[in-house]
Structure 1
Amino acid sequence: MGGDQPNDNFATWLFDSPGSHNDAFDFNNVPFLDFGMEYASRDFWSLDQTQSSNVYDGLNNRTYSTPSVSSEQRFMDVVDANSHISISGGRREAIVMLLSLFMMKKKPRLDASVPTDSILYGAESGDWPNLTILALESCLRAFWRDTAAQVPVVHQPTFSANACEPLLLVAMVALGAAARVRSKPKESVRDYRTFADFIATNLRWELFTHDHAQPPVHLWVAQTLLLLELYEKMHSTRQLHERAHIHHASTLTLLRRGSPMVGRSGSETPPSEAPTRPGSPNTSVPQHDFTTTAKPASDTRSWWKRWVANESMNRVVFAAFQMDTLHACMFGHSADILPHELRLPLPCDDSLWTAKTGEEVRRLENTFAMYRIKQPNFLDGLKRCLHGYEVQTHHFARMIFMAGLLSVAWHINRREKHLQFVETIPSVQEQARWKSLLLQAFGHWRQSFSEVLGDTAHRSSGGSRDAPARDASDPTTLFHLAHLTMHVDIIDIQILSGPKRLVGRRVSDKDRASVVQRVKAWASSSVARHATLHAFKLLQANLCRSSNGGRMSDGSPGWTYSCRNDPFVYRPWILYLAGLTVWAYQYATSQSNNTPINTASFTTTGLPSQSSAADLAKQYISSCAVTDNEDRIPMLLSQEGCIAVLQILAQDFVNAEAEILLEASKRMQECIRLLKEQAKPG
């Protein structure tokens, strides 16, 4: 696609098969209005963010910081293998001063029943006797164990808890505290939950008023904003969940204005001879060969520091994109980042990211260069993934590709809805083409990912806190979420279940009546059967496993899944959506028929009449998930089975910590009530 074709656009290039005449896409033809400025084509793929290490040196100190040391000394200090969790007495005092500042600005509403050995005890007097070094270090350990792999934006080998920005550190502590709470029985460490909410409530304001929270955004600010948003969205109160959505756009604006989404523009930073990592299609800065001349150790440390800053910012951008897309699919929000905005190469291989020294990074880079292994840029990789071509890459990059496919699906769905609003409906052939291509891409992505991970990819890690870090992002779960996203209106099925408010707005009787009609029409279509089948398969993959090794859910003997024990932070909510999809199809189909569904085909499968809810749910899910014939789904419907599934999910979610999951438990109970009322004669 060249400059002589002004009408060409990104979608045309993306959906053309690789190797066609349109393979060479020219970004100069696409109006990137969000940036408000022109970028020369040679700057599109420039990742030479290492040219301005001062931009990413977010280590300036405020009144609550520890005594300053040089950035070079900080980098030399991280040779200690425990620097990522080790907290000194001075750093503990800095954290106490910061939290005391929070306390003066806005006192938390502490429950009177909180015991005096709480981590917040004595806070009103400015003393935090129970906020010990051991308590802080335990939170950091929990962060690296449970959260770092899912949002890999902080470089553990060079991270120093005693040298980083205090605001970044307390964000990590809050997520670690949330992980500690989830790893214990409910209510056993409630003070850590209060502690984490207290940090999150005050942290955002402190970030926004910091001098570094302006374009071009400093690395530590971007990292802190992402970690804070993850906590607010998935671990906290409904109020903080809504606040995260409100301020999500601010985070993206900071990333756009600072231009890390396209690589640092040459006009923003002075020239430098610092190398970019192999695989960066950077034509403006010459690549250096470090194999011919030995470099002093100080040069290696300086180079590695810039390399880490460069790679960390790259990962921040992709993590923000992944979060933006997943939250849009899961909660019905808007997806604000368009795929073509990310004109970057993929993050480096995991082996480079986890390397302990700069020398090791160089050796690995030289090995990759010897075998001509390099990371493709994101858009080329996304196009190949969309068309079913294999892209040899690592775990995090594969997660980014799924976010890219979901983003493409979300934006095209939104485009079709807008066209229907202005009475310009896309042709059936056009809709069928892109949907078929995306569905095939989802399947190829899952198969490729599962082959790389091995058999563990097919075994859900839900319920097993000891699962490997990479299993915390299960491809099977995201694969079925992708199909639900394509075939279910998440907002409609939630409104059907009867909430008074959704996405911050009141649901009127007129809204609900319109939704009832839409869901009835949806339930009579083939896409509804397709969505319901994938919902059953998702529930089976995560709930009907006996080899997870996790704790049993309270009140359900033999049921191995527990949302408290799930290492994948998004999976409980995705399971909620799957259960809601099954219920919506059951409920709408029964309403359309004006009679309850005949359950004989299910109850004659040899199930004991006095089976527990867990056994009944497992039997029901398994009987519906094994079929590959979507048309058989209506024959397998069972109100008793559906109620059992909803009951099990409700019982599990009531043990959660996040308020959105507690609300999901209540919503499941309401769905049970509606099904029972529907089953009453007359």
Structure 2
Amino acid sequence: MPYTTALDYNWLFDMKGTQTSLISLPDKQSQLDQGPSFQEALYTISPESMDSSQLWPERRDSQPASEDLNNMQQLPLPSTNQSTHSASSDLVSKTAKKPGRRGRRTSTALVGPVDVGDQSTPNDIDRPFSLLSRRPVLPQINETIRKRLLQIIEATNPCLPESHHPLSNEPLLSVKSLQNYLDLYFTRFNTAYPLIHLPTFDVNNAEPLHLLSILLLGATYSNKDAHQLAVRIHDVMRPSIFAHAGFSPRPELWTLQTILLVECFGKSRAGQKQHDMSHLFHGLLINLIRRSDCQFVRPTGPPSDVVDHDQTLRDAWRRWSIAEQKKRLALLCFMWDTQHAVLFCQSLCMSAFELRVELPCSQRMWEAGDAMAWAAAWRSSQANHGQFFLPALKSYMTPSVPRPQGLSGLSRVLLFHGLMSIAWDMQRRDQTALGVVSGDNPGGHWRKIIGGAYETWKSDFDAYTLAVIGRLPRSSEDESQRSEHIAFATAYNTLYHSAQALLNMEFLDVQIYAGARNILGRPVQQKDYRRSARNVKQWASAAAKRDSSQETGQTQAKDALAKQSLEQPTTWGRNSANTAAWHAGRMLRDGTKILTGSDAMSLFHVPWCLYLATLTCWAFHHAGPLRGRGITASDEMADDSSDESDEMVWDPRGEMEALVTSMAEMGQRDSTSGISQRRQTNGLVWSMAEILTKVRWEIVQTGVKVLRGLVPQRLINQYDDPLGDSF
């Protein structure tokens, strides 16, 4: 459990902005370019924050940034009286469709136009899956480096697959292959999750274990044989890390990066064994990060009294790069910890309140090739260098706190994980209240606040994406960049929809009800299935009961209830099956075509979110009674054995599209589940299983087996074998 106190949450949920203890951002000079709405804001900080001498570091030297904000092309935010999802619909379809849900007002008003950061020209716009330079200079591996790596591999004595080649002659470990793995890491992994500073990374002087962890992750983006070889080496790598002379209770940066990369490999790029082992050592990584300065480090800018070619500037650049990498290590570790806690229903180990750091710098500054370019990027930056994580997070929770301007896409993603972390923590507090929490809807208040914060973030994120895409030239040369931003937005919209759905359901119960054999490393027993089946059926039936009671009322009463629902949302508890199903259908309708085949599919959360949405749609239609206009008692007795379901010509993709379209267009408080919708879930699970089969991750492949179990027996033989990866 992360360390949080009631004072932390009193500060965060202080909707009136009561100033019991006020602190301003520590560096006044760095706020010049932030805009009047944010630079003058004061933030209520908990006593724990005030008592720590390390949480808010001393002010740093910095150059005043340019104050000319008028050169930026800005698009206005969508009106708050419209659906917060209208912007995303424009991103994923050429024809605008009117959302079928009833618009719900968010609890936080959007302020001002969207500022896309220090990006004065289209070439400076962040690339979420690519390097800014079209011809990046990547580190080069030579034979000397290869020999050092082979010595490390031989010392670990991995259980390699049978080969006719000795290790020194293994083609998958040749200089050419190793170079390919290194290139893939920096062009595929490190672009999506910018952890290691490429311009200052010295491959010749890098610790072999550090370099090996980088190469193994890069190999997972290569062919199947290279991936399997990387898994074998990964299995025996941890003892070498712990036995290294540099491993200590306060390790160096390279040690922390190595442990984090090894954990990423095990959790999200390998099999069940590696996944479980990574969980065992996850607490070790968190404790090491807490013992370091990663959670409160503050990078300093270039000195003002030196010329650009001075050695002092180069030294300042390297110090900045180390501090920036430490900060990003803590933020990315927090992001992955939150994903696994919320999406996989596991324990949260890091708290958002631990992160007393600034948000990441711009991509232009991060990828500056030398000290002079870095100093120029720093001095010309229009985005504030001192935007702290916690005050920005509070701005999405509290109407009275203005949100910062100039946030990058990565910063917005990290802030959303902060909201997810708070939701998980609050839900766990409800579960451990031991009956202290009372009322008809325990947790309803905070769920309403979190749900509103999610929607506010979504509107902000969609407007940011539209602003970025709107500034791109309309030419075939920039079409790939446009597609990249659309894929990025779609990928994290899937996370948004998943988070909203998880506020309104218990996904562990849904998985067990769908036929999952193992949950959280434990086999599912019969009593577990009975309990989960009962919970899911109650969850899915509650919406039908509400709709039935509403339909028996008079028209005027229905209109009054509908008007009231617009102003004050109904249940935010576990019975909101309609809301969960709407978000699941919206995710599948808007995201499947865009994500399939794009680089966004390699993001850790995307395949699992698609799996989550698929099971949510299936459970919504199968666990509850048939509902909707025209449903009779005879319809309740109908099942898949009827003639219609036995037709020889079957269009699973067509059924999937029809189902998710109807679910996405229904209102969040409307519920329709007829015979046709139940049958269309066959096409849904079939199509999604085919898509997810291509994902080289055993956790997802286990989910594919669950989806296959939901397909009628007569269709099972039409499946091709999956990748057959034996991790």
TM normalised by structure 2 equals: 0.71
Find out whether 1:478 has 2:489 as its counterpart: no
Find out whether 1:312 has 2:347 as its counterpart: no
Distance 1:523 1:429 in 2: 17
Find out whether 1:153 has 2:165 as its counterpart: no
Contact 1:387/1:437 (8 A) holds in 2: no
Find out whether 1:107 has 2:170 as its counterpart: no
Contact 2:294/2:330 (8 A) holds in 1: yes
Distance 2:714 2:520 in 1: 24
Return 5+ residue gaps in structure 2 as ranges.
Answer: 23-42, 62-134, 471-479, 543-574, 717-727
Aligned-partner SS, 2:192:
coil
Match of 2:353?
A: 340
Distance 2:372 2:712 in 1: 63
Distance 1:469 1:160, change over 3 A: farther
Deviations 1:545-600 (A, max 9, x none): 4xx4x8xxxxxxxxxx3599824232111100111111222221149999876999
Aligned counterpart for 1:505 among listed residues 503, 519, 522: 522
| C-alpha deviation, 1:161, in angstroms | 2.4
Match of 1:168?
A: 210
Match of 2:106?
A: none
Distance 1:47 1:255, change over 3 A: farther
Deviations 1:272-308 (A, max 9, x none): xxxx436xxxxxxxxx851x44265321221111110
Find out whether 1:29 has 2:73 as its counterpart: no
Deviations 1:168-210 (A, max 9, x none): 22222112111123xxxxxxxx321221102221222222222
Distance 1:425 1:226, change over 3 A: same
Distance 1:674 1:513, change over 3 A: farther
Aligned counterpart for 2:166 among listed residues 113, 122, 130: 122
Match of 1:55?
A: none
Match of 1:404?
A: 418
Aligned counterpart for 1:639 among listed residues 671, 675, 678: 678
Residue identity matched to 1:532: A
Deviations 1:360-407 (A, max 9, x none): 222232234xx6833321111100022364332112211110110000
Match of 1:413?
A: 427
Aligned counterpart for 2:621 among listed residues 548, 569, 586: 586
Match of 2:372?
A: 359
Contact 2:465/2:485 (8 A) holds in 1: no
Residue identity matched to 1:99: I
Match of 2:181?
A: 139
Find out whether 1:178 has 2:220 as its counterpart: yes
Aligned-partner SS, 1:44:
coil
TM normalised by structure 1 equals: 0.76
Match of 2:606?
A: 571
Distance 1:563 1:205 in 2: 36
Aligned-partner SS, 1:638:
helix
Match of 1:394?
A: 408
Aligned-partner SS, 1:336:
coil
Aligned-partner SS, 2:296:
coil
Residue identity matched to 1:630: R
Match of 2:388?
A: 377
Distance 1:425 1:321, change over 3 A: same
Match of 1:536?
A: 585
Distance 1:210 1:296, change over 3 A: same
Aligned-partner SS, 1:148:
helix
Distance 1:455 1:261, change over 3 A: closer
Distance 1:100 1:472, change over 3 A: farther
Distance 1:471 1:620, change over 3 A: closer
Distance 1:466 1:503, change over 3 A: farther
Match of 2:55?
A: 44
Match of 1:76?
A: none
Distance 1:20 1:149 in 2: 40
Matches within 5 A, 1:259-298: 259-263=293-297, 276-277=299-300, 289-290=303-304, 292-294=305-307, 297-298=310-311
Contact 1:338/1:407 (8 A) holds in 2: yes
Distance 1:565 1:309, change over 3 A: closer
| C-alpha deviation, 1:309, in angstroms | 0.3
RMSD: 3.5
Residue identity matched to 1:425: V
Distance 1:327 1:481 in 2: 13
**Greater relative CO (CA pairs within 8 A, separation 6+):** 2
Contact 2:589/2:664 (8 A) holds in 1: yes
Find out whether 1:303 has 2:316 as its counterpart: yes
Residue identity matched to 1:503: L
Aligned-partner SS, 1:487:
coil
Matches within 5 A, 1:50-69: none
Distance 1:226 1:150, change over 3 A: farther
Residue identity matched to 2:493: T
Find out whether 1:92 has 2:146 as its counterpart: yes
Residue identity matched to 2:386: Q
Contact 2:614/2:685 (8 A) holds in 1: yes
Percent of pairs with identical residues: 23
| C-alpha deviation, 1:454, in angstroms | 2.1
Q: How many residues align?
A: 566
Distance 1:564 1:342, change over 3 A: closer
Aligned counterpart for 1:671 among listed residues 698, 710, 713: 710
| C-alpha deviation, 1:163, in angstroms | 2.4
Moved more, 39-48 or 199-208: 39-48
Return 5+ residue gaps in structure 1 as ranges.
Answer: 1-6, 33-38, 51-80, 182-189, 265-275, 279-287, 459-463, 551-560, 678-682
Distance 1:657 1:296, change over 3 A: closer
Distance 1:609 1:627 in 2: 30
Aligned-partner SS, 1:149:
helix
